[in-house]
Amino acid sequence: MQSDKRKQSDRRKFPTRPFSKYIFKGMRKHARRDAEDQNYYVDRYEAKYLALVLSILVLCVFDAYFTLKIIHFGGKELNPLMIKFLDRAPEMSLFVKYVITVISLIILLMHKNFILFGKVKAYFFLYVIFSLYFILVLYEVVFFFLHPR
């Protein structure tokens, strides 16, 4: 008969929480076993995802800047939530837009290995968001420089 000398319970009985003490010193970048290849959290993120998130945030700032410039030239904001903030204080609209984007990206990055809609891993949506922001900013840049002042 073997006596169990462990003082702590087995940590492997429960999945890693998205916010845990291992977030800054953890080692897990991938699933440990082949059977755990979906719906799991990691402690560390690959550089490509961090670069993608930072690129989206930079594009978000460019989008906000060009949106304000285009509105100044007579354009209109299409997002109903942002219209309310633009009417009150344009600077506040930039802050709200950025905060909403940051929070959304953090949640999406934390769940990057989860299957959404039964088929697609969440990290795919980071690429979709980047692509949409890139196209939007490209459109705004072209519109801004081609618009007669």
Where in the sequence is the domain holding 62, given as residue range(s)?
A: 44-146
Residue 25, in any domain of the structure: no
Q: What is the pLDDT of residues 20-31, one digit of tens each?
A: 555 555 545 555
Residue 43: helix, strand or coil by DSSP? coil
Residue from 143, 138, 132 nearest 72 by CA: 143
Asked whether residue 130 is domain-assigned, the answer is: yes
**Which DSSP category does 104 fall into?**
H
Residue 39 lies in a domain: no
Read off the pTM. 0.72
pLDDT in tens, 76-108: 888 888 888 888 888 888 888 899 999 999 888
Give a yes or no: residue 27 inside a domain: no
Q: Is residue 76 part of a domain?
A: yes
More confident residue, 128 or 91: 128
Mean pLDDT of all residues belonging to the chain? 79
Query: How confident is residue 136, by pLDDT bands cut at 50, 70 and 90?
Result: very high
> Does a structural domain hold residue 53?
yes
How many domains, the chain?
A: 1
Instruction: Tell me what pLDDT residue 7 has.
Output: 63
